Structure 1
Amino acid sequence: MNHYFRQDYLRVPDGSSLYFQVLGEGEPGMVLCDGLGCDGFAWKYLTPYLSRQHRVLRWHYRGHGRSGRPEDSRRFGMLYTCEDLDRLMDAAEVKQGIIFGHSMGVQVALEFHRRYAHRVRGLVLICGSYGNPLDTFHDSTYLKRVFPVLRHLVERYPARAARLIHSLLSTDLAMQVALSVELNRDLISKADLAPYFEHLARMDPVVFVRTLDSLATHTAWDHLPHVDVPTLIIAGERDKFTPSWLSRKMAEHIPGAELMLVPLATHTATLEYRELIELRIERFLRDRLGVQVPLPPRLPPGEGATPS
């Protein structure tokens, strides 16, 4: 078992302070890119799995988790995010990595490959889109139409918006609605989902809407045919945030891409089908990249972990 752990902050030239963690040792490095409004909840099981044999870099976007906001409030968007990741890989001593993206992280991973292809050895794209997510949320353009109004209200009344969002997301009702409408309550535990709501309830809503605005106008569609590294795409067949047809479309346009459609899974597939996805990633790393991710050591009969 690889127990190396480091956490630190990197101050980038425009003054932003970016939080990151490095777990484990071994090349190639594994770089995990979150979704919007997330601080790592989707990687709960994949992180310890990958860090047994490899250096894993986890990080928080500007204004997310433990990372600070830039002094210039306009400095949100894909350009800054990719520059931040390039600098963080240097800080974490990851010369070239396999870039994992979940949700918004898929856009980050694809754009990072466009700008810093020499730093990317492979891509694992999970439950995300190549771009313009407001156009396809719930297979509707409704969110795209109402978003300008929502952004205006948040920008004009940030303190009120923060209080309202915190009060709504801190209730059990928000969790129950998500489990009933967006996710599969039979496959995910409240304990796995709670960190997402806790983080979102604390997050500055202005950061959220500005980051979402930058995503809404970004697309890597034109770059898909130029992705020249092994790519695995994983989709939940019942994902309403990023419908699975987007993953099929990506797989058709990225040369040699592999596609895994997970039955019954939703936007939180990494938490719902952890073992199935781990095995699929292991096969991809072994067969396409020559990378070994060993199974945990077998314990003698009668021995095992004591439940906590």
Structure 2
Amino acid sequence: METTPKTTGSFESFDGTSIYYEVRGEGEPLVLVYGIACIINHWHHQVEYFTKKYKVITFDLRGHQKSAPVRDMNELTMDSLAKDVIGLMNHLGIDKAHFAGHSFGAPVILKVYDQKPQLFLSMTFINGFARNPIKGMFGLDVIEPFFFFVKSQYLAQPTLWNTLWKLAVENPMSVYVAALAGGFNLRVSHFKDIEIYARGVARLNLDVFIRLFEALMEYNGEPVLEKINVPALIISGEKDMVTPIRFQYHFKEKIKHSEFVLVPYGSHCTQLDFPDYTNLKMEKFLREVSRDGKL
């Protein structure tokens, strides 16, 4: 596969946390924001495709991969994540950009828009959500109680639970469990991509995950949706059980200038399942935005 040259770097965010980033290509900036406990590799199909026409910017969320450690653990909040993105744009000297967010990356984008809407040319949401998606996840109401149980146990024995976290994620069966839960479509996703993801999750500090997961549950981006006045593309995986279609339909209902795309057989990681289809839909959308400035 062709490899596009990249520029890497880091900058010191508002609280002293170092945020790692990668820049490839030239043209209008396209910022890709991955989900909680994910890695830049989740975007590798899009990175390779869009660097032919755009300046593609990827980065690690605070506490993730090369943006660790976090200087102040109390700053693992939605507000802090948004400040990191705004700081990255300032660091790179970018006034406006297209933004795309997958899963938890969607509320991060919403929070950035709420703080600094003038940064946006457009936004793309892939299997995203604007408010707590935990209730009813996988068709059950057990995830939230289980999370608080794990949190209480972690606070009592953090070393033990960090070890258990790594063992569970690194177990080969975890890939199949994630797929069965709607996280991946094993029939079309490359197994190597899922393995790379699992290794990345295993490196994530459990305290970081717990704090950000709680921030995710508490965040409500509903008021932001109706304020959005830039074009938006909503991509939804038909077989996503993590953030089911209703979350994406809700985006379409609330965002005025929006377009909805349903990907048949797409899982929660639609951009990995069906990268060609996802890229073509994104390219068409971005081309129309660049030409007309609106849908």
User: Structure 2-normalised TM-score?
Assistant: 0.94
SS of equivalent residue, structure 1 residue 259 = strand
SS of equivalent residue, structure 1 residue 179 = helix
The 8 Å contact of residues 230 and 289 in structure 1, kept in 2 or not, is answered as: no
List gaps (5 residues or longer) in structure 2.
Answer: none
- Please state if 1:77 is matched with 2:77: yes
The ranges of structure 1 where at least 4 consecutive aligned residues each deviate by more than 3 angstroms after the TM superposition are 1-4
Q: CA deviation at 1:72?
A: 2.2
User: Structure 1-normalised TM-score?
Assistant: 0.90
185-194 or 31-40: which moved more?
185-194
Q: CA deviation at 1:172?
A: 1.4
Give the residue type in structure 1 aligned to 2:170: S
Separation (CA, whole Å) in 1 of partners of 2:108 and 2:161: 27
SS of equivalent residue, structure 1 residue 248 = helix
Separation (CA, whole Å) in 1 of partners of 2:226 and 2:136: 21
- Size of the aligned set, in residue pairs, is 290
SS of equivalent residue, structure 1 residue 25 = coil
Change beyond 3 A, Cα 1:2–1:94: farther
Separation (CA, whole Å) in 2 of partners of 1:272 and 1:288: 25
Give the residue type in structure 1 aligned to 2:107: Q
Aligned to 1:185: 186
Larger Rg: 1
- Please state if 1:262 is matched with 2:284: no
Aligned to 2:241: 240
Aligned to 1:21: 22
Aligned to 2:161: 161
Q: CA RMSD in A?
A: 1.7
The 8 Å contact of residues 129 and 243 in structure 2, kept in 1 or not, is answered as: yes
Separation (CA, whole Å) in 2 of partners of 1:159 and 1:4: 40
The 8 Å contact of residues 32 and 57 in structure 2, kept in 1 or not, is answered as: yes
Q: How does 1:23-42 map to 2 (within 5 A)?
A: 23-27=24-28, 29-42=29-42
Aligned to 1:305: none
Separation (CA, whole Å) in 1 of partners of 2:22 and 2:7: 6
Separation (CA, whole Å) in 2 of partners of 1:185 and 1:39: 19
Give the residue type in structure 1 aligned to 2:211: R
Aligned to 2:64: 64
Q: CA deviation at 1:261?
A: 0.6
The 8 Å contact of residues 3 and 48 in structure 2, kept in 1 or not, is answered as: no
The 8 Å contact of residues 34 and 102 in structure 1, kept in 2 or not, is answered as: yes
Q: Deviations over 1:138-169 (max 9, x none)?
A: 24332122222211222332211111111122
The 8 Å contact of residues 25 and 53 in structure 1, kept in 2 or not, is answered as: yes
Q: Percent identity?
A: 25
Separation (CA, whole Å) in 2 of partners of 1:3 and 1:238: 32
Separation (CA, whole Å) in 1 of partners of 2:18 and 2:39: 15
